[in-house]
Amino acid sequence: MELIEPDEMRQYLNILNIHSCDVANFALYEVDTTDPLSDELLPIKGYVHILCISTARWREYPIGDGTAWVPAFGRDFAAGAFGDANAGVASTVFVC
């Protein structure tokens, strides 16, 4: 199951676009930590690990029901947490 919703992915890509960054310079690793034995009433949860490939800087954000990882990523990005992220390399998205 993918935890990142399509609208969250669009918002994430928009942040990179606003800052003129190559999407290919970032890798997203999505990890689902939802208890598979829980009933369907409990929220899905996990985390996303975002890596800027050219700077090797990364951050991790909780994802799933009720989280706001995209605004947190946007704040971190604007604050320089990913360094000079304007170099481009191959893009990768991993689902664990």
Mean pLDDT computed over 9-29: 93
As a whole number of angstroms, the distance between CA 4 and CA 46 comes to: 10
Mean pLDDT computed over 60-74: 93
Comparison of pLDDT for 50 and 3, the residue scoring more: 50
Per-residue pLDDT band for 45 (boundaries 50, 70, 90) equals confident
Which of 83, 94, 31 is closest to 52 using CA atoms?
83
Comparison of pLDDT for 54 and 44, the residue scoring more: 54
Residue 10, pLDDT above cutoff 50: yes
Residue 95 is classified by DSSP as E
pLDDT at 87: 53
